[in-house]
Amino acid sequence: MLEQITQLQSQAVSDLESVADLDGLERFRVAYLGNKGSVKQLMASLKSVPTEQKPEFGKRANELRQALESEYKQRKQSFGDDGQRQTGPAVDVTEPGTAADLGRPHVVTQTIDGLLEVFGRMGFGVATGPEVEDEYHNFVALNIPAEHPARDPLDNFYLQEPASAGGAVADLPGGAQLLRSQTSTVQIRVMETTPPPVRIVSVGRVYRPDEHDATHYSMFHQIEGLYVDRNVSMVDLKTTLIQFAHAYFGAEAEVRLRPSYFPFTEPSAELDIKMQVKDRWDWVELGGCGMVDPNVFEAVGYDPEQWSGFAFGLGVERIAMRKHGISDIRWLFENDVRFLKQF
Ligand code: FA5
């Protein structure tokens, strides 16, 4: 009698193997698990089994039924909606996936990294200074006297009432504190702590209450350069800036030095570059430069008879704009990912 169960089992397994679609599977179900199916008949035959074999027969018949039901269910799931047996995984791995939204450095940060790289190749180290400065480092040591218009409270973000406005700053060694308006402060801080020669650049934020337009913002970045050694001349300054411009923007970039005035350099010049603003190409000022004024050397304790040097301070946003053809500085700070994603 038990032999009958084994035969039925091997028959069922081989029938199930040859099932090719849902119709075939349904025929299998009716033949084995249906009301008049073989398994039902097997169960019905229990009564004619000799008493001593009944428990074993019943147990084996039950196991067979459970095994076939579970095989049947599994096989049913393996057929797709079209009723055909699926041979591969249920996921189409050749479909394009959903790309993760990767972040990246802001275009201004990318510009800073690029600038430090070019000046690094030219032998400039990197220096830093605080964004909250005092009047001494932002003005006095840079040869900018109290009555100079650059110190006007309306042109600076003072955190305390400045000396020029009659503020009570006697107890503050460096004068009133303000958000630095230029990175030239770092020239002073470096020379105060480093004996010559020095060759550094410094990048950082500066703040001015300028009205926002296509080329001005109230917070922006500058890259400051300072080179002090024996016999440094205007030729070194001009060569350095032109070499930099061609290395960074490409040999076709048009730059010029235009005579200018800064209290802390003599002579002084502006570095201009041709770039597109709105819909036309024009000269745009990248920054100021010049030979370090002897008064600045005296303020930091360098002997102006022995040492000479040049300094420059360039606007980083304007550099980024020229590099990428961005014609309005305000786009850099709107935090519109659709814009920033382009760089
Ligand atoms: C200065 O700040 C001097 N400290 C530069 C300098 C350094 C001269 C060393 C000599 C020696 P100026 O105020 O011109 O200079 O600013 C320099 C550059 O900063 C400008 O040419 C411009 O590129 C950028 N800049 C100035 N104001 C703004 C602004 N509101 N928004 C964006 N960029 C600005």
Centre of ligand 1 from the C-alpha of residue 184, in Å: 10
Rounded alpha-carbon distances, angstroms, from residue 162 to 134, 135, 155, 219: 10, 8, 12, 20
Pick from 189, 141, 140: which is nearest to 162 by CA?
140
Centre of ligand 1 from the C-alpha of residue 103, in Å: 30
Taking the C-alpha atoms of residue 299 and residue 302, their distance in angstroms, rounded to an integer, is 8
The domains of the chain are located at 2-77, 107-131+180-340
Q: Name the residue at shortest CA distance from atom 17 of ligand 1.
A: 287
Q: Phi-psi bin for 301: left (phi > 0), alpha (psi -120 to 50), beta?
A: left
Q: Name the residue at shortest CA distance from atom 2 of ligand 1.
A: 182
**Ligand 1: nearest atom to the Cα of 183:** 4
With a cut of 70, which residues of the chain have pLDDT below it?
80-89, 163-173
**Ligand 1: nearest atom to the Cα of 315:** 23
> pTM value?
0.73
Centre of ligand 1 from the C-alpha of residue 10, in Å: 90
Q: Name the residue at shortest CA distance from atom 7 of ligand 1.
A: 313
Per-residue model confidence (pLDDT) at position 162: 83
- Give the pLDDT confidence of 252-295 residue by residue, as tens digits: 999 999 999 999 999 999 999 998 777 788 898 999 999 999 99
Most informative mutation of 222, 234, 258 for ligand 1 (most atoms within 8 A of CB): 222
What is the domain class of 107-131+180-340 according to CATH?
alpha beta
Centre of ligand 1 from the C-alpha of residue 33, in Å: 88
Centre of ligand 1 from the C-alpha of residue 170, in Å: 30
Centre of ligand 1 from the C-alpha of residue 323, in Å: 18
Q: Three-class SS string for 107-170?
A: HHHHHHHHHHHHHHHCCCEECCCCCEEEHHHHCHHHCCCCCCHHHCHHHCEECCCCHHHCCCCC
Q: Name the residue at shortest CA distance from atom 10 of ligand 1.
A: 289
**Ligand 1: nearest atom to the Cα of 319:** 23
Residues with a CB atom less than 6 Å from ligand 1: 182, 184, 208, 210, 216-217, 220, 222, 262, 265, 268, 285-290, 311-313, 315, 317-318, 329
Centre of ligand 1 from the C-alpha of residue 199, in Å: 20
